[in-house]
Amino acid sequence: MYLYVYCITGALQKPIRDMMGLENAAVRALQYKELAAIVSEVMMAKMPVSNESVLRHAAVIEAVRKEQTILPMRFSSIFNNDAAVLEFLKNRYAAFVSDLERLHDKLEMGILVIQKKKYVQNTEFTQSGVEQEFGVSGQSTESPISDLQSPASTGMSYLQQRRIYYASQDENDEWVNEIVKTCHAQFEGICVKHKRDIHTSFSQGVSLNYLIHRDSLNEFKNRFNDLKSSLNELRFLCSGPWAPYHFVSPGGSVEHGII
């Protein structure tokens, strides 16, 4: 039997009752000084990823977050026993206490900005940057390079294609920077800290995370709606409030933070 850790918090304001975690095991608190790890027993040393397990992990975190400040743990943060969890709390004690104080009454909000698909002269670019034109049927109308073409002609054509591709990339970078600046300015004064998720590709959109005070939630939503209305050529998605996944300090071998 192992111990699954959902999150770290301070002294509990209310006792945990009738809360079920992964594998329908009872959730409990494991105390170390003024810290508490929210845990439940599991049968496996590594939890397989599934929709059900990830949602149950998040549900426990959200239930505790509604009552007090928490530091969420990564999915499948599993320890051998109570002693191992207590040792973890002891080793990270100063960082956990500092984070709980810094993130007290703070929430995370997420924004995804997606550029509506643009077509320039019915042109699409492949991953290699090679330009292809498509007809109405969606079939490529590009003619294969003839064997009679000279190497110089072929080389010039390739360089032209690469130039167009990199110009497109530069345009994308410039667009992203403008969107980031516009969004940050929109939430100035109510945003404690912000981060951009650089792991999100351009095609997936610009992903931004904002740390705000709990009391600023309604104001954040109002400003988001104003932003969405003023830039209707873009698609905006808002998520949250969440536990501050992106704003906890980095951990050690078993990291707390983003799922």
Task: With respect to residue 256, please indicate whether it lies within any of the assigned structural domains.
Answer: no
**Alpha-carbon gap, residue 235 to 16, rounded angstroms:** 40
CA angle 95, 97, 100 (to 5 degrees): 105
**Stretch among 20-29, 49-58, 107-116 having the lowest mean pLDDT:** 107-116
The pTM is what?
0.70
Same structural domain, 99 and 139: no
How many C-beta atoms lie closer than 10 Å to residue 74's C-beta? 15
Beta strands at 191-196 and 131-133: parallel, antiparallel or unpaired: unpaired
Range of the domain at 137: 109-242
- Residue where a domain terminates, one of 43, 78, 103: 103
Q: Which tens digits make up the pLDDT trace of 5-31? A: 999 999 898 889 899 999 999 999 999
Which pLDDT does position 42 carry in this prediction?
96
Task: With respect to residue 77, please indicate whether it lies within any of the assigned structural domains.
Answer: yes
- Mean predicted lDDT score pLDDT of the chain: 80
Task: With respect to residue 220, please indicate whether it lies within any of the assigned structural domains.
Answer: yes
Same structural domain, 130 and 96: no
Share of the chain above pLDDT 90, in %: 59
**Alpha-carbon gap, residue 9 to 25, rounded angstroms:** 20
Q: How many domains does the chain have?
A: 2
In angstroms, the Cα distances linking 239 to 111, 181, 208 are 6, 20, 10
Whether 151 shows a pLDDT value over 70: the answer reads: no
Whether 138 shows a pLDDT value over 80: the answer reads: no
Cα 15 off chain centre by = 30
**Stretch among 28-37, 56-65, 197-206, 232-241 having the lowest mean pLDDT:** 197-206
Same structural domain, 92 and 205: no
How many alpha carbons fall within 13 Å on the CB side of residue 107?
A: 19
Same structural domain, 78 and 194: no
Same structural domain, 121 and 234: yes
Same structural domain, 97 and 133: no
Task: With respect to residue 15, please indicate whether it lies within any of the assigned structural domains.
Answer: yes
Which pLDDT does position 189 carry in this prediction?
95
Asked whether 119 and 253 are in contact (CB, 8 A), the reply is no
